[in-house]
Structure 1
């Protein structure tokens, strides 16, 4: 099964940590929606026959009006059977949630909301330059549930500087009380080109110490697991049967199509990415010029990615499948490294599956690099 991602590159204001492609100017919004629709039409033949998920993200998709979202769905319905999709998600900011919008989302076909909460502490939200406050989170999620949305995912950011003196026990407990079906908990990453990146460059912001980061990660994992959330991927937790189908497509290396500026696609061993510039994207689409770059992945690239993505999930990767197509010398070297990691208790082998326990996941990048022996 496969997924479709549509990127809506507009936000009311820039969050201090965000390095995703977006614009705070809405001047080109109408033209960009038309370009998105045109890209859907242009790529009609590329859409995989079996699709199980649609994810509209950004940016802030909840900034779009009913007419704009309807036009996107109309274009999609000419290409795929939208009504048969198992999971249809839209990202929503708490301050945008209202009854009229929720009723429209339900009517057009969305069955899952991804809500950018990030924190339940107003001072932290202000520090991140988020627009909403805690009260809007509580009101928005409760309203969404009363409107019939029971499949709700919440984004939460931890790993923030200690001077903020966050009470994670209180924040996480308040989120758990809302009973979201899914949580994505991300450690703050200070990226170049962001306001926080600027502060770090000028020595006005320092990343959290690794030891403290690990403690926070393990505490959040244990807390959520104790409340019946399955820790199924390094950053993701879900109630039973509520894992994200869309994100699981990525981790399982299933094909997916990305529509819109900055969106990525993976099809037939090719990875491609669209121009991360709204005006250039629009002009290229309008003038029938190339609007993307792509690379052909070798079988070794694919296997190494399979290891990296697998070790971030509870399922891990299949050892036999990973060794198909490699020579005897590579197999011997690979199995030797597997044995070393088993001896160090960093990985577990069950039948032919190799995986890591959640309390070891922060070592997954190190373990993956050690296993990246599958090269030409």
Structure 2
């Protein structure tokens, strides 16, 4: 099976807590959609097996209208075989999901929504410069469910200066009460030269509190797992049968094709990424050229990547698979390094797989990086 990621670079606002912003104007939508469809044609030979997942991310691809969705899916269906019961996900902002938009989605092949809720409190959303309100977040979820879309994932942010422990408790309760089957949740991180960073520097806002973030992370783990969610990746919680198939393919090292400006892909030997500049991307595709950079993965790269993703998931690190991917002496060095962490109880070795002790989940990335070999 194969996996397809479409990066559709439209965004209506610049979030306060990051520099992630797309300059593509809405006047360029038609050109961008045409270019994405043309890139799919140019790369038709890369996808030789049925598509198990299709993920429309961005940006905010939910700003596309019905005709644009139709154009993209018509091209995919013309060029590729789609597996029965394929997971087809659309990233969406709550403020885009009015009744008309939800109806368009239901009439398309899309069968899963990933909604950027972030919080059910307006003070959090204002801090993050989100376009939607808490009421719109609630209404968009219910509206989608009423239309028959059951497979919904929501994003939540914890550890914000405005998010008290009680507010975080209420955010989690709201997600449970709404019966969403999947939650992706991330600690607030502050990028340089952002509005929030400026406010922190001026003393207008309190800085991010690591202890508060760790406490809210643990609150989330205990609350969601006690309500039937599986904590299958550090930042992801799913009810049985509602794990993200697309993201799981990344974590299991499966091949995927990335289409669109700045989209990344992996072919088993190397990683590649398209040019990020939207205008240059469109121009190159119009000239039947792929403007990409490629990186052949070294044995160390493979080792470090498998370490990182393995320790973040319930699947662990398959030692036999890892040993088959890298030189024997590199594997031996890495395995020697793991012994201290096993003795300290941070890692657990079971049936030739290495797992992170759940008690240390909040520190997963730090533990993984300690095992990296450069």
TM-score between the two structures when normalised by the length of structure 2: 0.93
How many residues are paired up? 374
Query: What does residue 281 of structure 2 align with?
Result: 281
Aligned partners of 1:258, 1:21: CA distance in 2, in Å? 19
Query: What does residue 143 of structure 1 align with?
Result: 143
Query: What does residue 208 of structure 1 align with?
Result: 208
Query: What does residue 225 of structure 1 align with?
Result: 225
Is the 1:314–1:357 Cα contact (8 Å) retained in structure 2? no
Is the 2:52–2:83 Cα contact (8 Å) retained in structure 1? no
User: 1:1-376 residue pairs with structure 2 within 5 A?
Assistant: 1-23=1-23, 25-82=25-82, 84-161=84-161, 167-192=167-192, 194-199=194-199, 207-324=207-324, 326=326, 329-373=329-373
> What is the Cα deviation at residue 334 of structure 1?
2.6
* Change in 2 beyond 3 A, CA 1:3/1:200: farther
Aligned partners of 2:329, 2:83: CA distance in 1, in Å? 50
* Change in 2 beyond 3 A, CA 1:321/1:53: same
> What is the Cα deviation at residue 83 of structure 1?
6.3
Aligned partners of 1:148, 1:68: CA distance in 2, in Å? 22
* Change in 2 beyond 3 A, CA 1:96/1:162: closer
Is the 1:116–1:155 Cα contact (8 Å) retained in structure 2? yes
> What is the Cα deviation at residue 217 of structure 1?
0.8
**Unaligned 5+ residue runs, structure 1?**
none
Aligned partners of 2:124, 2:166: CA distance in 1, in Å? 8
* Change in 2 beyond 3 A, CA 1:349/1:61: same
RMSD (Å) for aligned C-alpha atoms: 2.1
**Unaligned 5+ residue runs, structure 2?**
none
Aligned partners of 1:117, 1:15: CA distance in 2, in Å? 13
Aligned partners of 2:207, 2:25: CA distance in 1, in Å? 30
Moved more, 288-297 or 190-199: 190-199
Any idea what SS the aligned residue of 1:311 has? helix
Is the 1:157–1:185 Cα contact (8 Å) retained in structure 2? yes
Moved more, 335-344 or 228-237: 335-344
Aligned partners of 2:197, 2:41: CA distance in 1, in Å? 38
Is the 1:55–1:90 Cα contact (8 Å) retained in structure 2? yes
Kindly provide the CA deviation profile for residues 114-172 of structure 1, in whole angstroms up to 9, marking residues without a partner as x: 11110010111111111111211221111111111111000001111158676111121
Is the 2:50–2:81 Cα contact (8 Å) retained in structure 1? no
Aligned partners of 2:328, 2:115: CA distance in 1, in Å? 49
